Structures are given as C-alpha cells and as structure tokens.
C-alpha cells in the first residue's frame, strides 16, 4: 500500500548508516588506546549489529505487506477497516536489583579499605605484613540496556557494576514516538567483564621480580629501577635500558554478552512503578556474570495521539430527547480522548475554558447515523452510553449530509483507537522528556590508592594516570 512507501527511503538510509558506523567501529577498535574508548567502541558494534538486523527485518516486512496489498487491492477501498493511531511509548526509572551473597558483598566492602581504597590504618597493623588483610578481589562489569521497538533502537549510558551496588539504576527516560498499540518493547541487558584493580600493573612488577632474581642482586636492582622509572636508579640506567623496558600493556578488548532480556507490551503499560520478570541468558561461569534477581522495575507509559490530537472538530446541534427538526443551540464540538467536548464557541475551546457539555466516550460507546424519516429532520449522529444501568443517547445534528458523514467516519476511527489502546485512553499518562546524552565517563583508575600514592611519589608529584590524565 502507499502508506509504506514514504518511510522506506528513511529506513534504507538508517540501514546504510548503521552499516557504515559498524565498519568504522571495527577499524577503530584495534587503535583504541584507552579502556573507555575500547568499551564504547565495542558497545557501538553491538548497537550497530542490532540496528542492521532490525532495519533489514522491517524492510522485508514492509515489502511483504506491499505484495499482499497488490494481490488484494479491494481491501484498501473506502470500506476498509480503520487503522489504529500511533502513540508515544515511554519507559523510565529502570532498576534491576542484584542478589549478591552476603560474603561477597561484605568482602567487597572490606576490599575498599585496602585493595581499592588505600592501606589499613597505621594503628591496626596487618596480621601478616606480606599480605594485605583485604585482598582486592573486586569483580566489576560494565552494563547497558538495549531497548527496541520495531526498527527503532535506543540504549542507556554504560554503568559500572561491582559488589558495592545493590541495584543497577538507569536514570532518565527513553521514548518511542511512533509505536502502535501492538508494540513489543524488548529490553536486552548486556554486560562486559572488566579487569580487576591492579590487573594491568601487576604483570610488569612480577616480571621485574623474576628478572631481579635471575640477573643477580646488582643487575637485578638496576633492571627493577629501570622498569619502575625510579629517580634513585644509577645514572645512565634509568630510561636507557631499552632491552629491559617493557612496552606499555595493550588495552584489553572488552566483550559485551547478552546477560538477560524481557519483552513488554501494551498489557504492561501502567502510569506507575511496576516489576516485570527477566529471562537470564548467561551463567555464573561467564566473565560478564552479574547476580541478577530476575526482575526489572520500571515505569512504562504510553500516550496515543488520539489523546492529544482531535479526531474531528466542528459545529453540531444538540437535539432534545423526543424532539424533531433542527432545534437546539449550536455547539462547537471537539472529539478528543475520552470525551466529546462541547463549547459555546470556538473561541472558548481555543482559550481552554471548561466545556458546556461533555459526552463520555469509551470503547463501549455506540454511534449510529440518525434516521432522517421525519420532515425537516437534518442528518446527524446518535451517541449512546450506558450510565448507571441505563442507556443514555445524545442526538447531534450536523449542518449537512457531508458533515454528518465526516463525523461518522471520525467516530469510527476514534472508537477504533480507544479499543486498541485500551487503558492508555482512560486517562492522560505522563510522558517524561529524556535528558540530553552525556559523553561516557572515564573508567576509574586501575589499582589501589596505595599503589597510586606510590606512583605519585616516584614520579615527583606528577598527577594523573593512564586513564585520567592531569
């Protein structure tokens, strides 16, 4: 049908753009010099791959729909069934609770005192001076959410997760402005394991210790000083022992894996905070594992366009019960949302004043054309609602037959929208505005504060690190 054709060039451009970005990310990944760069590039690859698959599938679906319409052209005539309006779907306040074991949680909290937060208090010496009392066993992961409705895909900022967190929180809202009532919002939680504190800095020190042992006391001391860059090394050795200096460690390539997923639909829409089930897709042996509770908490709201945009406006006359002929005061009527709003004039409607009369409109409302059997009976529509166990009918007279037909078609479309969007048309749900995206924050420095303090002293007070330059 023609309704698919104007959107296909835009969808084709989105597919080509995703292919170009994916190719660029693949070339950029080997050149990344910072962990946060590699992390964001890998995330871009995951998003581009999902966009390519989604756009390709949507193009194929539209092509099949166009072929079906070409085979059955009679279905697109004036008597065709109305198509429900589009709407905006908003998901916000995303929370994913974690289920750490008590031993893991408190071990991590203790590890902050030594492995990730500095040496122990001088008044409390360690039991064994060769080993710290709290080993830096910090399991960390970078996680983000991929959200998809049809061919439209969004993502959340990346969040670092360790045992100090009890919930994974994604702030802000995500909007899908062109969703239908049959939408399926798929949430996919991706996770990538990150190296623990000191994982990169420990390898050169271990190799320096081995060289010190194998080369002897004198040569080993010079090799160790050359690797550490210590100012106490003998002249001519620091910075000149090219054969002993190690190249900078390469940035490890993170790998995002699908950790959990779920699908939400119109049945889960509610103007409040609710909990939904998650399907776990990874196991505990995976390096990206995070102990999920199996739930996701969020606020899922939807606002169809029929709640904001009038289906029809115009002048109608309210017919008194049992009366015949063109009687009644003319009213400016607006068919929108759960009611037909009747004003004394169009200026009152534009000024936002209270309507003179409001006729309720629900999915159970019945509308029919008024019989014009009587003499001088103008055309119109009859709106019937059941109130308090009784049926109440309002007769609305139009100025002409064409005007009455226009109102009948508008009523048919509006009742279709209300029936398809269900609870979303009972009241106006709040749609939050998404905050502006911020650039990804740098990863926290690797290693403990104890080692960072030592590096500061050896470098003569020069601040910064490999991940956060001064």
Residues 6+ apart with CB under 8 A from 393: 321, 382, 383, 384
What local confidence, expressed as pLDDT, does residue 325 receive? 57
Q: Whole-model pTM above 0.95? A: no
What local confidence, expressed as pLDDT, does residue 433 receive? 86
What is the DSSP annotation of 351-396? TTPPPSEEEE--TT-EEEEPP--STT---EEEEEEEETTEEEEEEE
Q: Are 186 and 435 in contact (CB under 8 A)?
A: no
pLDDT means per 10 residues, the chain with 470 residues, are 55 92 92 87 94 92 82 56 94 94 53 38 41 53 96 95 92 94 97 69 48 53 53 43 41 84 97 95 89 95 96 92 68 96 94 94 91 68 90 91 94 96 94 76 51 42 37
What local confidence, expressed as pLDDT, does residue 123 receive? 41
Which tokens sit at 315?
């002048």
Question: Under the phi-then-psi rule, with left for phi > 0, alpha for psi from -120 to 50, and beta for the rest, what region is 229?
Answer: left
What local confidence, expressed as pLDDT, does residue 244 receive? 37
What local confidence, expressed as pLDDT, does residue 464 receive? 37
Fold (CATH) for 307-425: PH-domain like (2.30.29)
What's the sign of the alpha-carbon dihedral 62, 182, 270, 307?
A: positive
Q: Are 139 and 159 in contact (CB under 8 A)?
A: no
Which tokens sit at 324?
């015949």
Q: Are 452 and 462 in contact (CB under 8 A)?
A: no
Domain boundaries, the chain: 1-66, 307-425
Q: Are 178 and 193 in contact (CB under 8 A)?
A: no
Beta strands in 157-272 (DSSP E): 159-161, 167-179, 185-194, 257-264
Please tell me whether residue 204 adopts helix, strand or coil conformation.
helix
What local confidence, expressed as pLDDT, does residue 1 receive? 37
What local confidence, expressed as pLDDT, does residue 321 receive? 67
């Amino acid at each position: 049908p023609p309704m698919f054709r104007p959107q296909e060039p835009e969808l084709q451009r989105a597919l080509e753009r995703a292919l170009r970005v994916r190719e660029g990310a693949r070339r950029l990944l080997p050149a990344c010099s910072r962990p946060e760069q590699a992390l964001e590039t890998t995330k871009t690859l995951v998003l581009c791959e999902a966009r390519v698959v989604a756009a390709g599938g949507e193009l194929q679906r539209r092509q099949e729909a166009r072929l079906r319409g070409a085979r059955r052209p009679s279905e697109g005539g004036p008597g065709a069934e109305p198509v429900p309006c589009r709407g905006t779907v908003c998901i916000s306040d995303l929370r994913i609770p974690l289920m750490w074991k008590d031993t893991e949680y408190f071990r991590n909290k203790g590890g902050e005192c030594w492995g990730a937060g500095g040496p122990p208090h001088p008044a409390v010496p360690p039991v064994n001076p060769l080993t710290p009392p709290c080993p830096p066993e910090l399991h960390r992961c970078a996680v983000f959410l991929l959200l998809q409705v049809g061919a439209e895909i969004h993502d959340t900022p990346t969040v670092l997760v360790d045992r100090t967190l009890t919930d994974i929180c994604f702030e802000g809202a995500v909007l899908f402005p062109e969703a239908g009532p049959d939408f399926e919002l798929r949430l996919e939680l991706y996770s990538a394991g990150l190296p623990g504190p000191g994982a990169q800095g420990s390898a050169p020190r271990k190799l320096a210790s081995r060289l010190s042992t194998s080369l002897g006391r004198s040569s080993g001391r010079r090799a160790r000083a050359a690797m550490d860059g210590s100012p106490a090394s003998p002249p001519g050795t620091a910075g000149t022992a090219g054969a002993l200096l190690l190249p900078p460690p390469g940035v490890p390539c993170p790998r995002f894996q699908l950790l959990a997923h779920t699908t939400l639909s119109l049945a889960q829409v509610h103007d409040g905070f609710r909990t939904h089930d998650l399907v776990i897709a990874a196991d505990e042996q995976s390096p990206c594992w995070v102990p999920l509770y199996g739930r996701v908490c969020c606020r899922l709201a939807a606002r169809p366009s029929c709640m904001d945009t009038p289906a029809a406006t115009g002048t109608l006359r309210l017919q008194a019960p049992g009366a015949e002929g063109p009687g009644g005061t003319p009213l400016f009527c607006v068919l929108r949302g759960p009611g037909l709003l009747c004003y004394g004039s169009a200026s009152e409607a534009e000024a936002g004043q209270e309507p003179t009369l409001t006729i309720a409109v629900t999915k159970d409302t019945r509308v029919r054309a008024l019989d014009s059997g009587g003499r001088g009976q103008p055309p119109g529509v009859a709106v019937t609602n059941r109130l308090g166990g009784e049926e109440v009918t309002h007769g609305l007279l139009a100025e002409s037959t064409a005007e009455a037909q226009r109102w009948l078609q508008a009523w048919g479309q509006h009742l279709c929208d209300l029936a398809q969007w269900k609870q979303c048309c009972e009241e106006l749900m709040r749609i939050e505005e998404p905050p502006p995206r911020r650039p990804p924050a740098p990863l926290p420095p690797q290693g403990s504060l104890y080692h960072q303090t030592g590096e500061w002293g050896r470098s003569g007070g020069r601040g910064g690190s490999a991940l956060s330059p001064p």
